[in-house]
Structure 1
Amino acid sequence: MSYVDLNLLTALDVLLAECSVTKAAQRLGVSPSAMSRTLSRLRTATGDQLLVLAGRTMVPTPYAEQLGKRAHELARNARAVLQPANSAVDLATLERTFTIRANDGFVDLVGASLMAAIAQTARRVRIRFVSKPDKDARALREGMIDLEVGVLGTAAPEIKTRLLFRDRFVGICRTGHPLLTRVTAKRYASCSHVVVSRKPQFTGPVDDALALLGQSRIISMVVPTFANAMQIVRHSDLVGLVPRSSLGSASPGNRAESAGIEYFELPVRTPAINVSAIWHPRLHADPAHRWLRDTIFAICKNAAP
């Protein structure tokens, strides 16, 4: 494909509009001699004289008259394509489905508030939450998901992140569980535990902290979601471990939003859980995606534990 100088298109548009080399030069901020050379290049490129003298003025050839409207539209479209992206978005008319990969606890935490925000400002937007089988960045890279929420688990160098809130692990058990009378590291470790893990792994930071005290948990069951753990704890003597955010507005020693469950602070220290929004750079400047990120950030600021 031969090289096409788009500057010639702009010059052609102005020359045909002004029918004057001098006036076209003034509009484009160049000298009349430079504009004259550009006209010569246009004549060579098109194989037509385009503008010819008629007395002291210049008039378009029949071919130039045919080109006039097309050249103007093409020049305008080329300028629009090569300008910075529009930073504004009309939320009232925005029609888009965003796919967000997050765990069930986050969906419970922000789902209703996010829906309320959408209903108020962007009624045609839809949210599709999908589960997190892993933390592979491929889904973000290939556009299978628009946003991920959780603990950053990829080393992909291009990925963008924004901290939404800091969470922590807490223990859960059924209402009336004997452990609630006095929670110590020894009594906690002696209970039978249910843990949540997507990997073939039973232990985590809690076990490392207990080991420093010479204690170890009895892990009897591993389940894939926090909702599973809550359901099992509610109907058994097993003790669970969940992020504080997954329990809504419950307070220590009081029943969580899921009736029949109480939570307690762990008898050992564990690292904070940094919950972040994670996305691919190709969507970083997209105004609709930026609105979604800002909306979720505002919701998390008010809803986080």
Structure 2
Amino acid sequence: MLNEVDLSRADLNLLVIFEAVMRERNVGRAAARLNLTASAVSHGLGRLRRLLNDPLFLRTPKGVVPTDRAEELAVPIADILARIRGVVAMAEPFDPKTSTRRFIIGAPDGIAAVLARKVLEGIERAGPGVGIGLRQLMVGRSRLYDRVWDDLLQPLETREIDLAILPLKEVPARFAARVLYREDFVAVFREGHPFAAEPSLDHYCRLRHLLVSETADFFGFADDMLERLGRRREIAVTVPNFMIGLAVLAETDLIGAMPRHLAAIQCARFALVTAELPLPVEPWDICLVVPRSALMDAGTAWLYDAVFTSFRAAADADASASAPRD
């Protein structure tokens, strides 16, 4: 029979210290986050190292890096702490009308710009004291169809962000998800651009293109589609986000592929126009995602519902306003 682990030697605060150091990668910053001294954090890490029989974090000139064992422990420890926080939160019911809690929502900028217009006003009405921080999430490369967005679920599991809004084809079972809308891409270019008169694939391939790529990778989803057709295009410029891309397109003869919903909101202010891409681009779901364990926290559960409800209400209002009148 296996010996039971002696939990009398364990201290929940050690897990909180582990989480802070894992997030900050720096003992001093972790101490500041926890309102402790650096000495207290270092002492706590020493106790945790002895308890788990692993160095956990190795010093470097710029801070600390986690060991393989620490990386393995990060997700289960985050889950344990989330469950405990949920239990504590249930003892003090969350009231959005009086709460001053701060939440962080992660999304790519092409989604965040759509989210900000349709959601933030609704959340402010429901929770006037609640603060919302938008954190940009971007992949390290530009191929949307290789499940690369799945990597961005990690900040949810480590509780760096409260919710994520991402284009996902599949959502792992440990997450709850709701589809906000369907998205695809359109061609975007300045008014008077010659592509408007001849929006063909041949013309598209002859043009010089702008690509949104945080890492300046010169290969995007459209290049993947073109490759399958035996075609290619010339990428002349890469930019790190869609809003910069819109500004550059407004001042050049470049053409870019942009999310349809973002283009509908932003193109008019940049004097840009759109056309359908001459490519077989499959639309995908934009999903609101949260760890199921985090929904035990009444505040996170409220935010999850509030974002979805606000977005759908704004989308319905937009649809009604654009519907033809008799």
**Common topology (TM > 0.5):** yes
Contact 2:109–2:137, Cα closer than 8 Å, also in 1: no
Which has the higher Rg, Structure 1 or Structure 2? Answer: 1
Letter in 1 for 2:292: P
Give TM-score, length-normalised by structure 2. 0.60
Residue equivalent to 2:287 = 276
Aligned residues between the structures = 223
Gaps of 5+ in 2: 1-5, 9-85, 140-150, 320-326
RMSD: 3.2
Contact 1:140–1:279, Cα closer than 8 Å, also in 2: yes
Residue equivalent to 1:247 = 263
Deviations 1:187-212 (CA, angstroms, capped at 9, x unpaired): 01110001112345333332233334
Give 1:109 shift. 1.4
Q: Which region of structure 1 is more displaced relative to structure 2, 128-137 or 93-102?
A: 128-137
Query: Matched residue of 2:134: which SS?
Result: strand
- The answer to whether residue 211 in structure 2 is matched with residue 195 in structure 1 is yes
- The answer to whether residue 273 in structure 2 is matched with residue 257 in structure 1 is no
Deviations 1:91-143 (CA, angstroms, capped at 9, x unpaired): 21122100011122222212144332233221110000111144443322221
Once residues 125 and 225 of structure 2 are traced to their aligned partners in structure 1, the CA distance between those partners, rounded to angstroms, is: 45
Q: Which region of structure 1 is more displaced relative to structure 2, 230-239 or 149-158?
A: 149-158
Residue equivalent to 1:92 = 97
Once residues 153 and 82 of structure 1 are traced to their aligned partners in structure 2, the CA distance between those partners, rounded to angstroms, is: 32
Once residues 310 and 7 of structure 2 are traced to their aligned partners in structure 1, the CA distance between those partners, rounded to angstroms, is: 53
Gaps of 5+ in 1: 4-80, 251-255
Residue equivalent to 1:140 = 156
Once residues 125 and 119 of structure 1 are traced to their aligned partners in structure 2, the CA distance between those partners, rounded to angstroms, is: 7
Once residues 129 and 95 of structure 2 are traced to their aligned partners in structure 1, the CA distance between those partners, rounded to angstroms, is: 11
Once residues 199 and 154 of structure 1 are traced to their aligned partners in structure 2, the CA distance between those partners, rounded to angstroms, is: 25
Give TM-score, length-normalised by structure 1. 0.64
Letter in 2 for 1:295: A
Contact 1:110–1:299, Cα closer than 8 Å, also in 2: no
Residue equivalent to 1:290 = 301
Deviations 1:143-190 (CA, angstroms, capped at 9, x unpaired): 111111112399866233222111011110111101111200010111
- The answer to whether residue 168 in structure 2 is matched with residue 152 in structure 1 is yes
Deviations 1:35-82 (CA, angstroms, capped at 9, x unpaired): xxxxxxxxxxxxxxxxxxxxxxxxxxxxxxxxxxxxxxxxxxxxxx99
Query: Matched residue of 2:104: which SS?
Result: strand
Contact 1:185–1:215, Cα closer than 8 Å, also in 2: no
Once residues 280 and 306 of structure 2 are traced to their aligned partners in structure 1, the CA distance between those partners, rounded to angstroms, is: 32
Residue equivalent to 1:104 = 109
Higher helix residue share? 2
Distance 1:169 1:123, change over 3 A: same
Query: Matched residue of 1:240: which SS?
Result: strand
Query: Matched residue of 1:137: which SS?
Result: helix
Once residues 154 and 199 of structure 1 are traced to their aligned partners in structure 2, the CA distance between those partners, rounded to angstroms, is: 25
Query: Matched residue of 1:222: which SS?
Result: strand
Distance 1:182 1:96, change over 3 A: same
Letter in 1 for 2:263: L
